Amino acid sequence: QVRLQESGGGSVQPGGSLKLSCATSGFIYVNYCLAWFRQVSAQERDWVASLTTAPRTTTYADTVKGRFTVSQDDGKNFLFLQMNNIKPEDAGTYYCAARAGDCPLDPAYFTSWGQGTQVTVSS
């Protein structure tokens, strides 16, 4: 059973940085997708960034490209999201998600989710 647990959220000023972590375990397949989604209130979860494991590729939403970096540790136990030059519109609850195979943008295709970590942006 795949397990995901996010951490690292908090309050940050515009222009600041945060690094989110997602502890991952239980994967039994070689090729899988790990992604970050953001949700504001009851709105739909928006895709932020993805990482595929085989081959190792990363993709980003246009709104975060050049500011956020998604990565995985060498032991494949953690997924990270380095958030730089944070903007007010980056605020929300960030979820780590996983699925076997490729990385769609629609959250409905992801089979495993963490509990989320909150990011607040205020001056």
Task: Give the pLDDT confidence score for residue 42 in this predicted structure.
Answer: 83
Mean pLDDT of 86-107: 96
**Choice between 49 and 41, residue whose per-residue pLDDT is larger:** 49
Note the Cα 62 to chain centre separation in Å: 15
Looking at residue 54, its pLDDT comes to 83
pLDDT the model gives residue 63: 97
Asked if residue 55 has pLDDT above 90, the reply is no
Which pLDDT value is given to residue 17? 98
Q: Following DSSP, what letter does each residue of 47-80 receive, concatenated?
A: EEEEEEETTEEEEE-TTTTTTEEEEE-TTS-EEE
Model pLDDT, residue 16: 97
* Neighbour tally for 24: CB within 10 Å: 22
Q: In what helix (H) or strand (E) does residue 117 lie, and over which residues does it extend? A: strand 117-121
